[in-house]
Chain A
Amino acid sequence: MVLIRDFAVQGAQMLLVLLLAPLFTGFVRKMKARLLRRQGPSLLQPYRDLLRLSRKEVVLADSASWLFRVIPYLVFAATWVAASLVPTFRTGLLFSWSADLIAIIALLGSGRFYLALAGLDVGTSFGGIGSSREVMIASLAEPAMIMIVFTLALIAGSTQLSTVAEFMASPQVGVRVSLGLALIGLIMVAIAENGRIPIDNPATHLELTMVHEAMVLEYSGRHLALIELSASLKLILYVSLIACLFAPWGIEAAGATVPTLAIGAATYIGKLAAGGFLLALFETSIAKMRVFRVPEFLGVALMLGLLATLLRFVSASF
């Protein structure tokens, strides 16, 4: 009975994240538009976009291979599995012990690996631009993320995301320096990994200013729908991660009842709304950086992660 209920909660979490992802993307776009004194597209527009794309015919380049057609499914699978392991309204999910934070980062890394390969598959220079810049950004963002995971693991005593989230929600956590450094580093890495301003512009399709859009330039139809859904899933994953680690109020521990689950879901929606608004505010108030300033930006994130880990190694009270 308990097993069935836990199974149902895990399944509900997976579906929730999948269904909310386009809505969150639509919310961020709407907020950005309103901050720029425009009306903006409707909140449900991403759903309409996905539906429209899936009904369209796929136009495949002559030189594309079977790998090009399989990669959207691989990327989607990796991103969805990672997103369903991040606690949203409840920790202690049934399969949360099967992959810890390091495995989640590696799953997202494998999504990025395959997408970079897709950029090179057709054999034009646009894909090459996107892939080469994407791996440069990843070569600094991923180590920064791992150092932040080290800091959190050293504070909470585990790399298991549920355990870390429960520790952060408990009163033992205190206000630590290394947590502050880790938060700033995590926000910088999240911006880089999701290709938001100032790293990459998700709204344009100009190949000289973009990284993600250049890699997926040749995708169309249902493949493009899967890739866009994966990108939205990645964004909601990172916002949920920041929320469950640094704003853990309202997340219910395992064994909760239906009313508390409802409270957990409501607080989660509230955190998403706050996160989306802050992201929109940040994106509209800062300009996009030149490509070769991105390594400096991410280098700072890596240094913050390294400093936070160093402080934890040096003394347990940091």
Chain B
Amino acid sequence: MSRIDFDIAHLLAGLLVLISFLELYQDRLYALLNVFALHALVLAASVAWQAFIQDAPHLYVTAAIALLFKAIVIPVALHRIIVRLGIHREIEKVVGVGPAMLAGIGLVALSMVVMLRVTPGADPLTREDLAFALSVVLLGLLMMVTRRNAVGQVVGFMSLENGLVLAATGAKGMPLVVEISVAFSILIAFIVIGIFLFRIRERFDTVDVQALDRFRGER
């Protein structure tokens, strides 16, 4: 693998981290869905590039699944859900953009330090890609923690899974069956979440999770 292959793989992984930051910055729901679609697109490109340089054709299937489901089907479905539920289209955040960005930088630094210290003997390309993948996972978790809106939390969960896929492809490919099972479990989780959102909306007229806390009698 030549220098340019390394660099393009790094570039795509870094672009994924950048788009995760962009997701943290968004405060409008439709824009968030568009950025999430972009996230999945870049993931598909990254997986396809890994398939090219590792000469592993089954990764092309993974890339196609990511492209089809995550970049097209899921954003469109979420868009429909938002329209049908009439969800309030601004995302309330628990912390402001500035502190969230700072926390994001701290998490990226943390994942760099952890990955590069824990794996001193491994192949440098894999280590650095794993560091980026861990960053994407942590940023997805940060998104879930700092959003008040359930749809925002779903998007955070999806981008977390994107990070896991990036990690798995970077580590010289995973068997296709594992990938398919992971994808199916995500799909099931998504369907369940969608059903729950409908039920919550029917009962309480809102999907703001803080409002749900009120109904639990805790406040």
- Seen from chain A, the residues whose Cβ lies within 8 Å of a Cβ on chain B are 174-178, 180-181, 184, 295-296, 299-300, 303-304, 306-307, 310-311, 314-315, 317-318
**Inter-chain contacts of B8 with A (CB < 8 A):** 175
Interface residues of B in 79-110 (CB under 8 A from A): 97-98, 101-102, 104-105, 108-109
CB nearest to A175 among chain B residues: B7
A174-B7, A299-B101 given; name 5 further pairs at CB < 8 Å.
Answer: A295-B98, A310-B112, A311-B112, A317-B6, A317-B128
In the bound complex, do residue B13 and residue A314 qualify as a contact, i.e. CB atoms below 8 Å apart? no
With A299-B97, A299-B98, A303-B21 given, is the CB distance from A177 to B14 under 8 Å?
yes
Q: Is the CB of A318 within 8 A of B15?
A: no
**Which 10 interchain pairs have the tightest Cβ spacing?**
A177-B14, A175-B7, A174-B7, A303-B101, A296-B97, A314-B112, A177-B10, A175-B11, A299-B98, A177-B11
User: Total A-B residue pairs with C-beta atoms closer than 8 Å?
Assistant: 61
Complex Cα distance, B144 from A23, in Å, reads 50
Among candidates A295, A300, A310, A317, residue contacting B25 with C-beta atoms closer than 8 Å: A300
Q: Shortest Cβ distance from A293 into chain B, in angstroms?
A: 9
Cα A128 to Cα B147 in complex, Å, equals 38
Question: What's the least CB distance linking A243 to chain B, in Å?
Answer: 21
Chain B window 1-28, contacts with chain A (Cβ cutoff 8 Å), 1 for yes, 0 for no: 0011011101101110010010001000
Question: What residue in chain A is nearest B22 (Cβ atoms)?
Answer: A300
Give the docked Cα–Cα distance between A76 and B189 (Å): 62
Residues of A within 8 A of B101 (CB): 299-300, 303
The total of chain B residues at the interface (CB under 8 A) is 26
Can you offer 13 A-B residue contacts whose CB atoms are under 8 A? A175-B7, A176-B10, A177-B11, A178-B14, A295-B98, A299-B97, A300-B21, A304-B18, A307-B108, A314-B113, A314-B116, A315-B112, A317-B124
Set of chain B residues within 8 Å of A180, measured between Cβ atoms: 11, 14-15, 18
8 Å CB contact of B3 from A174, A178, A304: A174
Chain B residues touching A, majority SS: helix
Question: A310 to B108, Cβ gap below 8 A?
Answer: yes
| Contacting pair B116 A181 (CB below 8 A) | no
Chain B residues with CB under 8 A of A315: 112, 116, 128
The answer to whether A176 touches B7, judged by C-beta atoms less than 8 angstroms apart, is yes
B21 contact set on A, CB distance < 8 A: 300, 303
Shortest Cβ distance from A316 into chain B, in angstroms? Answer: 10
The chain B residue with its CB closest to the CB of A295 is B98
Q: How many angstroms from the CA of A16 to the CA of B209 in the assembled complex?
A: 61
A98 to chain B minimum Cβ distance, whole angstroms, is 34
B109 closest partner in A (C-beta): A310
Q: Which residues on B sit within 8 Å (CB–CB) of A296?
A: 25, 97-98
Interchain nearest-CB distance for A317 vs B (Å): 6
A273–B109 Cα gap in the complex (Å)?
39
Tell me, in angstroms, the Cα distance from A311 to B14 when the chains sit together: 10
Question: Do A318 and B10 touch across chains, with their CB atoms under 8 A apart?
Answer: yes
**What distance in Å separates the Cβ of A305 from its nearest Cβ neighbour in chain B?**
11
- Measured between alpha carbons, how far is A296 from B99 in the docked complex, in Å? 11
- Taking CB atoms, residues of chain A closer than 8 Å to B102 are 303
Q: How far is the CB of A150 from the nearest CB of chain B, in Å?
A: 15
Q: Closest Cβ of chain B: how far from A267's Cβ, in Å?
A: 24
Interface string of B108-130 (1 = CB under 8 A from A): 11001100100000001000100
Contact A318 B4 (CB under 8 A): no
User: Nearest-CB distance from B86 to chain A (Å)?
Assistant: 26
Residues of A contacting B18 in the complex (Cβ-Cβ under 8 angstroms): 180-181, 184, 304
Question: How far, in angstroms, from A300 to B26 measured CA to CA in the complex?
Answer: 12
CA distance A178 to B98 in the complex (A): 21
Among B139-177, those with CB < 8 Å from A are: none
A177 to B12, CA, bound (A): 8
Whether the pair B14, A175 counts as a contact (CB closer than 8 A) is: no
Q: How far is the CA of A181 from the CA of B102 in the complex (A)?
A: 16
Q: Cβ of B6: which chain A residues have Cβ within 8 Å of it?
A: 317
Chain A nearest CB, measured from B127 CB (Å): 9
State the CA gap A295–B112 with chains docked (Å).
27
* Chain B residue with Cβ nearest A308: B14
Please, how many angstroms separate the alpha-carbon atoms of A60 and B139 in the complex? 55
> Closest residue of chain A to B3, judged by CB?
A174
Chain B residues in 8 Å Cβ range of A311: 14, 112
Cβ-defined contact, B98 with A318, below 8 A: no
* A310 proximity list for chain B (CB < 8 A): 105, 108-109, 112
A304 to B14, CA, bound (A): 11
With a CB–CB cut-off of 8 A, which chain B residues contact A295?
A: 98
What chain B residues lie within 8 Å of A181 (beta carbons)?
14, 18
Q: How far is the CA of A30 from the CA of B13 in the complex (A)?
A: 39
